[in-house]
Amino acid sequence: AAGVIQSPRHLIKEKRETATLKCYPIPRHDTVYWYQQGPGQDPQFLISFYEKMQSDKGSIPDRFSAQQFSDYHSELNMSSLELGDSALYFCASSIWDEKLFFGSGTQLSVL
């Protein structure tokens, strides 16, 4: 069965650089979520999209932005990266009101 695809799996950036994370939801899923999980932390909600419109917003820094495209894939853009942005970034998808399916995550390391 198709799963949520995230790319890249690993990303190394330097401070003040930019990064773009991509997420391809499960086909026919209409909602995409982004979560950030620091070392030893629980996942923190960043933002979500339903039918390509932002539907909910969490603790996403102003330096970050995200969007969902017409093919339902989503991108998380991160600028002016800081050391504290090093984390595992999960994308997840669902059909409205159903359970969340997570991708394998993108491990971002900011040096």
Partner 1 sequence: AQTVTQSQPEMSVQEAETVTLSCTYDTSESDYYLFWYKQPPSRQMILVIRQEAYKQQNATENRFSVNFQKAAKSFSLKISDSQLGDAAMYFCAYRRGATGNQFYFGTGTSLTVIP
CA–CA separation, 93 vs 110, rounded Å? 26
CB 32 within 8 A of CB 74: yes
* Cα–Cα distance, 56 to 27 (Å, whole number): 21
Tokens of 102: 């997570």
Question: Binding to partner 1 by residue 99, rule CB under 8 A?
Answer: yes
Rule CB under 8 A: say whether 5 interacts with partner 1. no
Determine the interface stretch with partner 1 among 12-20, 62-70, 73-81, 91-99 (rule: CB under 8 A): 91-99
Nearer to partner 1, 64 or 101 (CB): 101
Task: Figure out which of the listed residues 29, 90, 93, 110 binds partner 1, where binding follows CB under 8 A.
Answer: 90
Alpha carbon distance 81, 32 (integer Å): 23
Which residues, numbered 23-62, are part of the site for partner 1 (CB under 8 A)?
31, 33, 37, 41-43, 45, 48, 50, 55-56, 58
